[in-house]
Amino acid sequence: MSGPIEPLLAVKGLSSGYGPVTILREIDIEAAPGSVTALVGANGAGKTTLMKTIAGLIPAWTGEIRFDGQDITRAATHHRVDQGIVLVPEGRMVFALLSVEQNLRLGAIAPRARKNVSERLEDTFRRFPRLHERKGQLAGSMSGGEQQMLAIGRGLMAKPRIILLDEPTLGLAPIMVKQVFAVIEDLRKDGYTILLSEQNSRLALEIADYGYILENGRVQLSGPGPELVDMPDVRRLYLGR
Amino acid sequence: MSAQLLFAALVAGSLYALVALGLNLVYGTLRLLNIAHGDLVMIGAYVSFWMLSLFGLPPVLSIFVAAALCGGFGWVIYVGMFRKLLATPALAQRLEANSLILFYGVSVILQNCVALAFTSTARGYQYLNEVHKFAGIAASGNRLMLFGVALALCLGMLLFLRFHLFGWSLRAVIERRDAAAVVGVDVDRVQMVTICIGFAIAGVAGVLVSMTEQITPFMGFPFTIAAFVVIVLGGLGNIFAGIVAGFALGFIETFGVALTSATYRSILIYGLFVGVLLLRPQGLFGKAIKIR
Ligand SMILES: Nc1ncnc2c1ncn2[C@@H]1O[C@H](COP(=O)(O)OP(=O)(O)O)[C@@H](O)[C@H]1O
Ligand SMILES: [Mg+2]
């Protein structure tokens, strides 16, 4: 394909974990601008831990995280958000006691996102008409699929330069899973850079420009998404056939 | 007669709501059980007394002095003690229980420092004690001021939480600290500002109390207890329900005492506390009342 592109996000030799327990070991991943990068692997492989470490919710023990050439390994979470690294967390984490609109507006609290909030709110409502219908409602009163859309919408309000989508289809009905993937395709068309973690490995790799297969906190395999899907070993070991 | 009682209940209720508001904000955002909260009320009361005695500064202006002093104390406590502890998840988990003991220490130190400096002699002063008669009520000016200021601060805080972006981020931190960080809220700053606001509110409440009650170094404890009763009634960390519960306690106490006698006051308050904890630990209103 084309020559080497400067990655927007580059993780090198990263390890982290919880308390005394090491989860991630020597992780190297990159995300090219405008691409969809998939992180797949079984439950417990370390996808969420990696997302949290990139977002700064848990500290990196070793290695470095570079964003747009800058070292952000030690930056506070809200500073990373202000640089455009926006996590849409596993389990959605919407504010149940705030209204849909308040959730969205709060998504624009980072200084870089404070201007033109109302326009961006309109854009978000256009992308997710359902949120517009429910804007005055408490977020906690919505269905899981709607809350996922809200979590993504809230992330978009922050003017992300990269969106970290952590298991966005977790616990959703098959029809909602389809919708979430349709949203991801739309975001890619609009030029967003996406790091997507998924247990639906096949679906994720099929739409990914590049994919990483995680196992026990290590990267086992990586390559262009569709190529990974076609590899017999990958099919047998990770895709269940 | 009942109009008079109603007014008394409103005055007591507004004070309880205000004192509990400060405690609830600090508990909600920082998960700290500030058992020294009432002692900040005491500090506010002394500020008012000394400002009037030494400089002739009326309580209506001392409000700002007490707010600044207590708010500043909150800042010192946060930066000096809690910032590091809260930032470390492992320590933060134990902090909620340990904060009770830490603040008990702060409470004892504050009480004894004030007793050493000013002796434990009860103080008091006269301010706005002329009586106004209207609508079948006889109300002293200072009680009207107490009610007015306390109500304004409670309503102001509710409006702030309802309409201001910082208010939303405060509610976001109360609901889920990690999710607040995820959207880009500077959680450390929210916590620092909130402890300052919570402490400042207690100082202001102290100024208001000092207009109608005697001032001693040990006057704070009953306020701590009342504030805990109120936030347990309303549900810990639920700001709006806490304010409603403050008024509810004012009514229960005032009408309860009127129907029985003053000796039952403590029994009423503690009975309510224990009763609610046993029967409805999630608070009287549970999840029914939330600010939008
Ligand atoms: N808060 C935590 N404390 C301790 N261990 C955790 C915590 N969260 C996850 N783990 C462990 O880390 C490992 C990786 O989990 P996670 O990153 O959530 O995997 P995935 O997202 O791929 O399912 C699992 O073994 C899990 O038990
Ligand atoms: Mg996960």
Number of domains observed in the structure of chain A:
1
Measured at the CA of B152, the angle between CA B149 and CA B155, to 5 degrees, comes to: 150
Which of A82, A95, A136 comes nearest B172 by C-beta? A95
Structural domain contains residue B192:
yes
Q: How far apart are CA A112 and CA A72, in angstroms?
A: 17
Which of B165, B181, B182 comes nearest A105 by C-beta? B165
pLDDT band with cut points at 50, 70 and 90 for residue B198: very high
**Which segment of A66-75, A123-132, A221-230, B268-277 scores lowest on mean pLDDT?**
B268-277
Does residue B286 surpass a pLDDT of 80? no
Q: Do A77 and B181 touch (CB under 8 A)?
A: yes
CATH number, domain with residue A77: 3.40.50.300
Q: How far apart are CA A188 and CA A210, in angstroms?
A: 13
Which two tokens mark A138? Answer: 């408490």
Residue of B34, B81, B56, B58 lying closest to B201 (CA atoms)? B34
* Residue-range definition of the domain harbouring residue A43: 1-84+162-168+195-241
The residues with which A66 forms a beta bridge, in sequence order, are A10, A71
Mean pLDDT over A155-178 rounds to 97
Residue-averaged pLDDT of chain A: 95
* Residue-range definition of the domain harbouring residue B160: 3-118+134-279
Strand, coil or helix: B209: helix
Specify whether the CB–CB gap between B40 and B234 falls below 8 A: no
Identify the pLDDT of residue B288: 41
Mean pLDDT over B6-28 rounds to 97
- Which strands form A70-71's sheet, in the order they lie side by side? A21-31, A9-18, A62-67, A70-71
Does residue A3 surpass a pLDDT of 60? no
Name the phi and psi angles at B222, rounded to 5.
-55, -30
pLDDT digits (tens, 9 = 90+) for A182-194: 999 999 999 999 9
Structural domain contains residue A28:
yes
Q: How far apart are CA A139 and CA A101, in angstroms?
A: 9
Does residue A2 surpass a pLDDT of 70? no
pLDDT band with cut points at 50, 70 and 90 for residue B291: very low
Identify the pLDDT of residue B287: 54
A228 lines ligand 1 (CB under 6 A): no
Identify the pLDDT of residue B86: 84
Which two tokens mark A231? Answer: 């590899």
Structural domain contains residue B219:
yes
Q: How far apart are CA A132 and CA A122, in angstroms?
A: 9
Number of domains observed in the structure of chain B:
1
Does residue A1 surpass a pLDDT of 70? no
pLDDT digits (tens, 9 = 90+) for B121-178: 999 999 999 999 998 899 999 999 999 999 999 999 999 999 999 999 999 999 999 9
Interface of A with B in 201-230 (CB under 8 A): none
Specify whether the CB–CB gap between B273 and B191 falls below 8 A: no
Task: Provide the Cα torsion A17, A20, A26, A32; round to 10°.
Answer: 20
Quote the percentage of chain B above a pLDDT of 90. 78
pLDDT digits (tens, 9 = 90+) for A7-40: 999 999 999 999 899 999 999 999 999 999 999 9
Q: Do B175 and A138 touch (CB under 8 A)?
A: no
Sign of the torsion angle spanned by Cα atoms B9, B12, B15, B20: negative
Specify whether the CB–CB gap between B274 and B144 falls below 8 A: no
Does residue B284 surpass a pLDDT of 80? no
Task: Provide the Cα torsion A55, A60, A63, A67; round to 10°.
Answer: 20
Does residue B219 surpass a pLDDT of 60? yes
**Which segment of B30-34, B77-81, B287-291 scores lowest on mean pLDDT?**
B287-291
Instruction: Tally C-beta pairs within 8 A across A and B.
Output: 68
Identify the pLDDT of residue A234: 82
Q: Which of A22, A23, A167 to mutate to test the pocket of ligand 1 (most atoms within 8 A of CB)?
A: A23
Does residue A223 surpass a pLDDT of 90? yes
A216 lines ligand 1 (CB under 6 A): no
Q: How far is the CA of A21 from the centre of ligand 1 (A)?
A: 10
Does residue A231 surpass a pLDDT of 50? yes
CATH number, domain with residue B229: 1.10.3470
pLDDT digits (tens, 9 = 90+) for B76-94: 999 999 998 888 777 877 8
Which of B179, B186, B188 comes nearest A93 by C-beta? B179
Does residue B191 surpass a pLDDT of 50? yes
The residues with which A86 forms a beta bridge, in sequence order, are A163
Which of A96, A102, A138 comes nearest B168 by C-beta? A102
Specify whether the CB–CB gap between A92 and A100 falls below 8 A: no
Residue B146, min C-alpha distance to chain A (Å): 32
Q: Which residues of A198-214 are buried (b: 16+ CB within 10 A; e: fewer)?
A: bebbbbbbebbbbbbbb
Specify whether the CB–CB gap between A67 and A75 falls below 8 A: no
Structural domain contains residue B289:
no
Structural domain contains residue A61:
yes
Structural domain contains residue B127:
no
Q: How far is the CA of A126 from the centre of ligand 2 (A)?
A: 29
Structural domain contains residue A35:
yes
Structural domain contains residue A202:
yes
- Which strands form A162-166's sheet, in the order they lie side by side? A85-88, A162-166, A194-198, A36-40, A210-215, A218-223
Measured at the CA of B7, the angle between CA B1 and CA B11, to 5 degrees, comes to: 145
Q: Do A158 and B187 touch (CB under 8 A)?
A: no
Q: Which residues surround ligand 2, an ion (CB under 5 A)?
A: A 47-48, 90, 167
Q: How far apart are CA B209 and CA B125, in angstroms?
A: 11
Does residue B186 surpass a pLDDT of 60? yes
Nearest CA in chain B to A101: B292
Structural domain contains residue B35:
yes
Report the complex ipTM.
0.92
Burial of A127 (0-12, 13-18, 19+ CB in 10 A): middle
Structural domain contains residue A42:
yes
pLDDT digits (tens, 9 = 90+) for B51-67: 999 999 999 999 999 99
Quote the percentage of chain A above a pLDDT of 90. 92
Residues of B in contact with A110 (CB under 8 A): 184
Q: Do A158 and B183 touch (CB under 8 A)?
A: yes
Mean pLDDT over A214-222 rounds to 96
In Å, how far are A210, A227, A235, A240, A241 from A232, measured between CA atoms? 17, 10, 5, 11, 9
Residue of A106, A117, A161 to mutate, testing the B interface (most B Cβ within 10 Å of its Cβ): A106
pTM for the predicted model, two decimal places: 0.92
Identify the pLDDT of residue B289: 41
Structural domain contains residue A55:
yes
